[in-house]
Structure 1
């Protein structure tokens, strides 16, 4: 405990996704009374419709030179899995300008130095939740990148090579066409090479986050849904949450903003000025005669598939759009068209559970985890596509900071006010 620091007795958490609930759970383990407030429902945002892949081997800063080169080409293609509105608003323009500035090799390596200690501890945080009573499993799930050409395979292997070059251990094996077909017979003949990443896991995202919420409640925590927090202020040594309709207002010793793509709206007044934008993903589930046994990435098609409740969940698209904008039905068609060229024995007419959700992406590719400029107010968010993988560890580290007043070394480069 830092000298002079008093651990809070009551903490309010804004957001009932993986990040907010994990932080709440770890705070409870330290004896803190927690109330979680959520504008819609538990796991209603990016925690619901993703593929559920826990892949610390692939958790890296999104801005890097090849993404920039790909993005320039992709924006000219209406069928591209990367999409930006024709008329970018001021906030999006600011975000994209900063994002492009970080697409250099040097900045990626500095960012990867921040990710490495997180990646190395990420799966152990899930084990700790399991030991503490969270009744949802993680399953061993090797992750295979299925490639159409040698060039695609070499590009993916080079991405893994950069992670290894940053000092992170990654166990991979190369698959020939016949080996790929033996393991994943439902792949289309166009898939000719594979790179298999071992040591990864997967979850059923809605079920896992619901179980985490149940555990928070079982430990005495409150989860209040339908509460749209519009502002946060410090008053008399307490943190107050204010709603748009004024129907809910409560004071806490400390508070955590874990509101996903809506983080900028609440955090800007408290020194959180790193641009954050919703990189919206689309997904749906289909039936298959022979469902895939493990997660598969199609790097050349910019989509991923995973086993999901007897079917296949297909995810893709990086759409830089307002988080509350209506879904673009053409994006679902784009994913189906790409996936149909990669998978056989799939009943595309069975598509269901259509979902679009905003993954909060920061302009420098690093999460925002730590204290804000307002005493007692903290943030966890901005994980981009890695919120499932890193959410539990992020919650654990932030809970440690809140309770002890000491910033864990892993959080030093993730300062929300950087």
Structure 2
């Protein structure tokens, strides 16, 4: 853009703050706006996995078997309301059209370049002074019987085929790494080469770093329209700028659609809570059959799960928490599932084709960064780095080229 510019980033989650940090690295003056606060959305309550080997397309051929059944099962990990919602059904039609092996491979090929950059981008933030840790696994992957592992092994093999590294070995003594798993888990694997974080504290630290470098972070700032030279708040206040970035997660479409971004962004809501464990949790645990992703979190154990297709602002539905608890009771021991804390629902921004939306819009100096689905945390820093490069130099890094928001 030539010299210091005033850039407004709308959204204070992982993606928005990482973009702000990298814009600062390039010498720009940044203001971050959010209607609620730092890490107030999907960046807070997720599992915090930095697992590129599992950063894969959400839509795969198994949906044709699992999806219809899930509509009739109150405890299923996939959930959606049976009501008249034309936008939701239009999204689902396109989402299911991607549930083929050929589409999965095409999307995986497009995700792999940024997957390969993901962990290094976290290291760059650490070297730049972001005071928060990332921790190595291993990840424990558990199944009640060996036949259940076929789908997971196929996904990992697909990621490896496209260039990922995913060291995976059978695990004989499951309880040595995951003492909260009961004897119901008879087949397990150890996945190395991945990391995890405590997502809320991490994003808060990133926000502090951005503020300490001179950015203004305004919360309770609801943005109603974005332009190449200004952002307008619900109060009527107009904030002038030289460029603007829309990074509002599941709410991205409302602000981005006037700028030619037509790809649907649907809220894929995830739920989580934390529990005490009889023995300290030290490693992430994944139970693919039950769609549960678990992580040590501030001395407790965070259990996250479900993909609920609803509107992003709908309230938390206790029945979805109960569904996760019902599944956890089948496979966990020494876990106090009746004394839950931090019950949470967050809206993850899912696109029909499984690719994020990162880049220029049709409006000069208006950019978007979102649509990462379940992978906004792991891909956020790399996304911010490459989008900042585009804004600053006009050059599109190959890792984000497939994510053209005008596709």
TM-score normalised by structure 1 residue count:
0.95
Q: Write the distance in 2 (CA, Å) between the matches of 1:84 and 1:321.
A: 6
Q: Runs of 5+ in structure 1 lacking a partner?
A: none
1:181 Cα offset (Å): 2.8
SS in 1 for 2:42: coil
Alignment of 1:107-122 (within 5 A): 107-122=103-118
Q: Write the distance in 1 (CA, Å) between the matches of 2:165 and 2:136.
A: 17
Alignment of 1:5-404 (within 5 A): 6=2, 9-176=5-172, 179-234=173-228, 238=229, 240-246=230-236, 248-404=237-393
**Does the 8 Å contact 1:24/1:36 carry over to 2?**
yes
Q: Over residues 192-242 of structure 1, what are the superposed CA-to-partner deviations in whole Å (9 max), with x where a residue is unaligned?
A: 1112110111111111001000100111011000011111134xxx2x211
1:154 Cα offset (Å): 2.4
Q: Write the distance in 2 (CA, Å) between the matches of 1:146 and 1:232.
A: 46
1:106 Cα offset (Å): 1.3
Q: Write the distance in 1 (CA, Å) between the matches of 2:250 and 2:369.
A: 11
CA RMSD, Structure 1 to Structure 2 (Å): 1.2
Q: Over residues 360-392 of structure 1, what are the superposed CA-to-partner deviations in whole Å (9 max), with x where a residue is unaligned?
A: 000000111111111100111111111110000
Q: Write the distance in 2 (CA, Å) between the matches of 1:370 and 1:266.
A: 14
Q: Runs of 5+ in structure 2 lacking a partner?
A: none
1:68 Cα offset (Å): 3.4
1:64 Cα offset (Å): 1.4
Q: Over residues 34-56 of structure 1, what are the superposed CA-to-partner deviations in whole Å (9 max), with x where a residue is unaligned?
A: 00000101100000001111110
Q: Write the distance in 2 (CA, Å) between the matches of 1:68 and 1:274.
A: 23
The ranges of structure 1 where at least 4 consecutive aligned residues each deviate by more than 3 angstroms after the TM superposition are 5-8
**Does the 8 Å contact 2:78/2:308 carry over to 1?**
yes
Q: Write the distance in 2 (CA, Å) between the matches of 1:202 and 1:410.
A: 22
1:88 Cα offset (Å): 4.1
Q: Write the distance in 2 (CA, Å) between the matches of 1:88 and 1:308.
A: 38
Q: Over residues 307-348 of structure 1, what are the superposed CA-to-partner deviations in whole Å (9 max), with x where a residue is unaligned?
A: 111111010111000000011111111111111222111112
1:411 Cα offset (Å): 1.3
Aligned length: 407
Q: Write the distance in 2 (CA, Å) between the matches of 1:167 and 1:42.
A: 34
1:164 Cα offset (Å): 1.2
Q: Over residues 3-47 of structure 1, what are the superposed CA-to-partner deviations in whole Å (9 max), with x where a residue is unaligned?
A: xx5466110000000000000000000000000000101100000
Q: Write the distance in 2 (CA, Å) between the matches of 1:59 and 1:11.
A: 30
